[in-house]
Structure 1
Amino acid sequence: MIPHSLILDSENTKPLISILTNLNYTFERFQNLDEVFSVLKNQKFHFLITSIETFDHTNSKEILEKITMTYPNTLVLLITDSNQWVQTATLLKRHSAYDFLQLPLEPDHVKLTLDRSLQYLNTKLKSQFIHEAENHLFKRVIEIFDWKKSLTHKENQNISADIIHQMNISLFQGSGIGTLMSVVSILISKSKLDPDNNHYIIQKPILDLLSENYEAAKSMFDSMSISQSVIDDDGLIETKESPQNLIPIFETEMEFLKDALLIKSQKINTSQIPNSVTNCKIRLHHDKMSYVIREILLNAIKYSKEGDQIYVIFFHRENFLELKVINPAYQNEDGSIGIPESYEAFIFEPFFRISSVVDDSYAKFEQFRFGLGLTLVKKILDQHQTNVQIYNIEDNMRNDNTKDICLTIRFPLIKEEN
């Protein structure tokens, strides 16, 4: 994944803009440190980059400390020089900033610092999630070995049930292998031998059910084949095309998913790609991008409710084309809403599920299964040198004071040479 930065504009950040553009790293700029809270409220950034000179102004240090307290998962990077080392060291020591970029800025050092900082951030976010999961497990272990509860063995049974349930979700829940096995069992037990003609008589409903679940199981194996091909391919996408070529891919996938939308009477609203990107290109592999678009649309469809509208919106920001897929956020089984912040770094990990419920209604539309969908989406987008994030935002469209889930993909724009 490439990093996404929020940059406080100043004279010292001008060379950084040029370097990030050449690296195809995405960024947005703002003019005043006071604006940062409104920007970070509904956008996700890996880094906030600002010049050390910003902190010569009154209250700047207090604002920076408030930013790091409120948004600890956005790392602050300082642009500084040897004359400002004492102040820089103080901010680093107080953890008001994570790292620094020294003037004059050099492309190799900028890339090294941002890549290293991004690696730290990803590790930090995953560690937080694992720590929470360990605490949850520890509490359950304490409950299990509480002597009063152990008399009934109920908690032990629950743990076993949880393990079996997760195995069931991965391979056997819904139509496909599990139901196919059941149907074969029914077929064997209910078929009747005609000894005179030396053949078995099978009822039509049983054969129809067998055929239906054979197709579902075959679809699973096809999905495994597609997934394997994506996993094995590590090559960078070199093909560069107009961003407008994303539109026919969306149209094809939306046509494929029209029956999926009918299940809950949903609708997808798609904006146009801004004309301002006409003279630019993006890395684009049509087949792989179709996998991505189908998966992110199908996820939005599955996790939305009856009559919901899903929005696909394109923006031209700085040096990248931004694609947002927005759908309403609802309460999860654990009481959280949409994509809790602690899950954001884990949502693209293999086999991770917020919900354990499998809706069999959408099985025939799926190309990635077994909890690998968003993992393979990220793999493909990494090959396109884009970044992808998924998080909650305040609902600004429906005016009912709720939250939406926003999946954001940023395609670095490549200027066409004259």
Structure 2
Amino acid sequence: MIPHCLLLDTHEANELISCLNEINYTYERVSKLNEVFSSLENQKFHFIIIHVTNLKENGSEAVLSKIAASFPNVLIILITDSSNWALTASLLKRHNAYDFLQSPIDSEHLKFTLDRSLQYLNTKMKSQFIHEAENQLFKRVIDIFDWKKSLTHKENENISADIIHQMNISLFQGSGIGTLMSVVSILISKSKLDPEQNVYLVPKPILDLVSENYDAAKSMFDSMSISQSVIDDDSIVESNAATQELLPLFDEEIKNLEEALSLKKQKINLSQIPNSAIDRKIKFEQTKFSYVIREILLNAIKYSKLGDEIYVIFFHRENFLEIKIINPAYPNEDDSFGIPEKYETYVFEPFFRISSVVDDSYAKFEQFRFGLGLTLVKKIMDQHQANVQIYNIDSNLRNENTKDVCLTIRIPLVQ
């Protein structure tokens, strides 16, 4: 995944912007250091990149310290030169900044530094979650082997049960393989042999059940085939297309999901692509993008409720086209809400689910299953040299004091 950067828009940033355009990394600009806070509250960035000369004004270092403390999961990268080594070293030592780039900036070195920093950031985000999960596991182990507790009531659960539970969710919960096996068992037991005709007589309701669950199981195997094709394909998309080619794909997938939308009487509102981006080009492979659109729309449908509206909004920002899919956020099983910050990176990991409940109503519409949906969305976006993030935002669309879940895709415009 390519990183998304926030820049302080000064004369010193011109060289940086030229290099970011050259390597097709996305960015946004603010004109003043104090504006960084509002940008970070409304958008998600991987890095803030600031030239050291812009930190010499009174109070600037204090503002930088506050940014670092308030947004620990956004790395600060400095641009410096030989005349500012002392200030740069001081900021790095105090952990107000993570890394630096030396001016004049070389595009290859910029790419190397940002890629390495992004790898660190992703590892940091995952380690925070894993550390929390380890603490929960430790508490669970203590509970299991606490003999005092076992005297009061038997602890029948064990850690292996959790693993089996996840396998059950992925492969056997709902219609599909599990139900098909049950129905076949019924078919065998309820069929009656007609010796004279040498045929078995099968009640129609049972045959209907077999047919229904055969279709569900076939859909599951088709999904496995599509997923395998995406997993095995590591090629970078080289073909280009105009941005407006995205609209027919969204229209087609919304039409394909009409039945899914009708289950909870939901609606998808699709915006137009801004005029300023209409004639611009993006990396584009139609089949892969259709997989992404189906998955992100279905994801929003599944995790929304009765009568909810889902918004798909296009923006032209700087050097990229931005697509936002916005749906209401609701409480999770662990009392978290929508997409908590600790899960923002982890939801793109294979087999990870915030909720263990599988709504089988949507199985036949899915092209990716088994907890691989967002993982494969990210893989395809990587192939398009685009980035994808998902996070909570304040609801500005419904005139209510609530939260929304916002999935954001940023596709660099071909220079």
- State the partner residue of 1:87: 87
- Give the secondary-structure state (helix, strand or coil) at the position aligned to 2:299: helix
- State the partner residue of 1:217: 217
Cα distance in structure 1, aligned partners of 2:152 and 2:161? 15
Cα distance in structure 2, aligned partners of 1:4 and 1:155? 47
- Deviation, 1:187, is 0.8
Partner AA of 1:303 in structure 2: Y
- Deviation, 1:223, is 0.6
Cα distance in structure 1, aligned partners of 2:184 and 2:104? 71
Partner AA of 2:257 in structure 1: L
Partner AA of 1:211 in structure 2: S
Q: Is 1:66 matched up with 2:66?
A: yes
Cα distance in structure 2, aligned partners of 1:56 and 1:316? 33
What whole-Å deviation, never above 9, does each CA across 1:164-201 have from its counterpart, x for those lacking one? Answer: 32121010000000000000111111112222322221
- In structure 1, the gaps of 5 or more residues are none
Q: Is 1:48 matched up with 2:48?
A: yes
- State the partner residue of 2:166: 166
Q: Which segment drifts farther, 267-276 or 197-206?
A: 197-206
- Deviation, 1:153, is 6.3
- State the partner residue of 2:298: 298
- State the partner residue of 1:282: 282
- Deviation, 1:339, is 0.5
- Give the secondary-structure state (helix, strand or coil) at the position aligned to 2:175: coil
- Deviation, 1:151, is 3.1
CA pair 339-58 structure 1, distance change in 2 beyond 3 A: same
Cα distance in structure 2, aligned partners of 1:148 and 1:201? 59
- Deviation, 1:57, is 1.2
Partner AA of 1:31 in structure 2: S
What whole-Å deviation, never above 9, does each CA across 1:318-375 have from its counterpart, x for those lacking one? Answer: 0000000000000000000011101111111100100111101101100111111111
Partner AA of 1:122 in structure 2: N
* 1:2-401 mapped onto 2 (5 Å cutoff): 2-151=2-151, 154-157=154-157, 159=159, 161-401=161-401
Partner AA of 1:264 in structure 2: K
Cα distance in structure 1, aligned partners of 2:312 and 2:93? 43
Cα distance in structure 1, aligned partners of 2:393 and 2:33? 21
- Deviation, 1:122, is 0.8
- Give the secondary-structure state (helix, strand or coil) at the position aligned to 2:61: helix
Matched length: 415
Partner AA of 1:172 in structure 2: F
- Deviation, 1:278, is 2.6
- Deviation, 1:157, is 2.0
- Give the secondary-structure state (helix, strand or coil) at the position aligned to 2:155: helix
Partner AA of 1:67 in structure 2: I
Cα distance in structure 1, aligned partners of 2:175 and 2:223? 14
- Deviation, 1:55, is 1.7
- Deviation, 1:159, is 4.1
- Give the secondary-structure state (helix, strand or coil) at the position aligned to 1:138: helix
What do you get for the CA RMSD once the two structures are aligned?
1.1
- Give the secondary-structure state (helix, strand or coil) at the position aligned to 2:346: coil
Cα distance in structure 1, aligned partners of 2:322 and 2:183? 47
Partner AA of 1:334 in structure 2: D
Cα distance in structure 2, aligned partners of 1:178 and 1:219? 14
Partner AA of 2:17 in structure 1: I
- Give the secondary-structure state (helix, strand or coil) at the position aligned to 2:78: strand
TM-score by length of 2: 0.98
TM-score by length of 1: 0.97
Decide whether the 8 Å contact of 2:144 with 2:158 is kept in 1.
no
